[in-house]
């Protein structure tokens, strides 16, 4: 298992945070395919969070995006790179995330249907980070403190979702599951059957997925490796750590990523909203917003850069930032 992907060369088109908007996804995909046909792009990179629209159910087309990515993977092979985002992670563990009164997850859990096994296999295999010979690293949520030390980064590199779930399954094998379900229901102010139905669309206790909510809660509570992954995919950068500390974390993170490979001089991320379509953070990070986190959404942008051409700093990337809606770019 290797959650850090290395890219030696090739023109890369980076897109972030489409959040279930198939129209935006298809326009970016079609732009990439046009650039590819013209010999101007070779790698299509989605930096996480292509699931979970905040719009009504009928306009959330997360499933169509993922199914198209599975199709595109067959066409492009290594020319498609998809990073795991914080909105994909919960589906590997049977947990939900929320923002205010909006609960993410149950809608997509129910939508997966017969595609569930292939989708979760796809998510399970996704890397967390990408490094390039250009010195441009990409991470969904930016830098995180656990990865500023080489040992922490190596734990993330070798992380296995399956291994953490297997630990929980070994624990559950010796437990009274009915009592654990009842206890979780009491903590949640809902009976466990309601939790399973609402979060997973599962109503039959004999269904092998019935205890996935319970398993997910145990992983998030007991697994220290999972806590590192959570921090890597959910942290809010300077809004969480403060500007001065985050600048240090960012520098140390890039240094850690550089060990044994090559100097990583800039980080590209999504995850956090910006005014317009991009923002420079702490002199080393390009925060890109391709759709959902752009303000307004039509200001969304993508990044095009040469993975084999070394840069001196994050400012070198700005010439490759383009608007999808500006047909001259």
CATH of the domain at 17: 3.60.21.10
- Let me know if residue 112 belongs to a domain: yes
- How many residues does this entry show for the chain? 329
Task: Indicate the DSSP class of residue 51.
Answer: -
- Let me know if residue 312 belongs to a domain: yes
Q: Are 195 and 213 in contact (CB under 8 A)?
A: yes
Write phi, then psi, for 53 (nearest 5 degrees): -80, 150
CB contact set of 276 (below 8 Å; sequence gap of 6+): 289, 294, 295, 299, 301
pLDDT tens for the 329 residues of the chain, in order: 899 999 999 999 999 999 999 999 999 999 999 999 999 999 999 999 999 988 877 788 999 999 999 999 999 999 999 999 999 999 999 888 888 888 888 889 989 999 999 999 999 999 999 999 999 999 999 999 999 998 999 999 999 999 999 999 999 999 999 999 999 999 889 899 998 888 888 889 998 889 999 999 999 888 999 999 999 999 999 999 999 999 999 999 999 999 999 999 999 999 999 999 999 999 999 999 999 999 999 999 999 999 999 999 999 999 999 998 764 44
Q: In this predicted structure, what is the pLDDT of residue 50?
A: 95
- Let me know if residue 288 belongs to a domain: yes
Strand 136-139's sheet: what is its strand order? 4-7, 129-132, 136-139, 266-269, 285-288, 278-281
Q: How far apart are CA 216 and CA 226, in angstroms?
A: 11
Domain extent, residue 244, equals 4-159+229-323
- Let me know if residue 184 belongs to a domain: no
- Let me know if residue 183 belongs to a domain: no
> Among residues 267, 251, 255, 266, which one has the least CA distance to residue 311?
266
pTM, to two decimals:
0.95
The residue assigned the tokens 């991320």 is: 269
CB contact set of 279 (below 8 Å; sequence gap of 6+): 286, 287, 289
Residue 187: exposure state from Cβ atoms within 10 A (0-12, 13-18, ≥19) = exposed
Task: Report the number of distinct structural domains present in the chain.
Answer: 1
- Let me know if residue 187 belongs to a domain: no
- Let me know if residue 188 belongs to a domain: no
> Among residues 123, 120, 217, 205, which one has the least CA distance to residue 172?
217
Q: In this predicted structure, what is the pLDDT of residue 95?
A: 86
- Let me know if residue 215 belongs to a domain: no
């Amino acid at each position: 298992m290797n959650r850090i992907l290395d890219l030696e060369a090739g023109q890369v088109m980076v897109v972030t945070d489409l959040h279930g908007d198939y129209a935006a996804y298809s326009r970016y995909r079609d732009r990439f395919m046009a650039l590819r046909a013209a010999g101007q792009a070779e790698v299509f990179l989605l930096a996480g969070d292509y699931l979970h629209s905040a719009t009504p159910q009928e306009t959330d087309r997360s499933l169509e995006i993922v199914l198209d990515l599975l199709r595109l993977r067959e066409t492009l092979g290594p020319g498609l790179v998809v990073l795991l985002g914080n909105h994909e992670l919960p589906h590997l563990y049977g947990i939900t995330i929320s923002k205010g009164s909006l609960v993410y997850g149950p809608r997509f859990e129910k939508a997966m249907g017969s595609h569930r096994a292939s989708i979760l296999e796809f998510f399970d295999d996704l890397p967390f980070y990408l490094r390039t010979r250009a010195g441009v690293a990409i991470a969904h949520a930016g830098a995180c403190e656990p990865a500023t030390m080489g040992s922490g980064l190596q734990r993330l590199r070798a992380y296995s979702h399956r291994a953490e779930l297997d630990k929980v399954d070994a624990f559950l094998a010796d437990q009274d599951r009915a009592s654990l379900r009842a206890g979780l229901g009491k903590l949640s102010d809902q009976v466990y059957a309601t939790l399973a139905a609402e979060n997973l669309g599962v109503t039959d206790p004999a269904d092998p997925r019935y205890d996935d909510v319970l398993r997910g809660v145990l992983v998030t509570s007991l697994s220290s490796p999972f806590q590192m992954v959570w921090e890597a995919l959910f942290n809010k950068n300077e809004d969480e750590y403060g500007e001065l500390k985050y600048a240090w974390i960012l520098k140390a993170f890039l240094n850690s990523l550089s060990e044994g490979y090559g100097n990583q001089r800039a980080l590209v991320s999504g995850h956090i909203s910006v005014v317009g379509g991009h923002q420079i953070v702490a002199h080393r990070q390009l925060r890109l917003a391709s759709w959902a986190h752009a303000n307004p959404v039509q200001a969304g942008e993508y990044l095009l850069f040469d993975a084999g051409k070394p840069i001196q700093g994050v400012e070198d990337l700005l010439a490759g930032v383009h608007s999808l809606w500006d047909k001259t770019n």
